Copies of this chain bind each other. A is one copy, B any other.
């Protein structure tokens, strides 16, 4: 396709929050998360905003604030993240409506909507098999770094 990277960024941020939490760090700032993503704090807020709305994370203001998990990492599935982050269907319908006086153009949209709805359910079903904690454990195990924890990264100047 490939669509967008919202799910990737959100999962990345959640894994990072989970790892920091394991090491006693809670309340990472958007800048600190952005440092890991090589991005900037506004992009992080855009990515995590829907997760806050969905109740998966909390955001505290002021010193000592920042982002924290509101649900333990083992109970957040990628399907939860997907549902929070991706509003619409997997595939788009026509860019603009087809001819309504054509038998196909007249009736195809609702049929495809049904199909795409089922595809969305299939995606959710597959994503539900993975959790943030599971992804984190897998990546730490399969692709370990010599120094597994070097502290919260410092944003580059």
A88 to B4, CA, bound (A): 12
Residues of chain B within 8 A (CB-CB) of A112 are 8, 11, 135
Whether the Cβ atoms of B3 and A106 lie closer than 8 Å is no
Residues of chain B within 8 A (CB-CB) of A15 are 104, 108
A91 to B91, CA, bound (A): 12
Interface residue A5 (Cβ < 8 Å from any Cβ of B): yes
Q: Name A143's contact: one of B93, B95, B110, B123 (CB within 8 Å).
A: B110
Q: Mark A42-63, 1 if CB is under 8 A from B, else 0.
A: 0000000000000000000000
* A2-B92, A122-B122 known; A111+B135 contact, CB < 8 A: yes
Whether the Cβ atoms of B105 and A36 lie closer than 8 Å is yes
A122 CB to nearest B CB, Å: 4
Give chain A's interface residues, CB within 8 Å of chain B: 1-5, 7-9, 11-12, 15-16, 19, 35-39, 78, 86-99, 101-108, 110-112, 115, 118-119, 121-123, 125-127, 129-130, 135-136, 138-140, 142-145, 148-150, 153
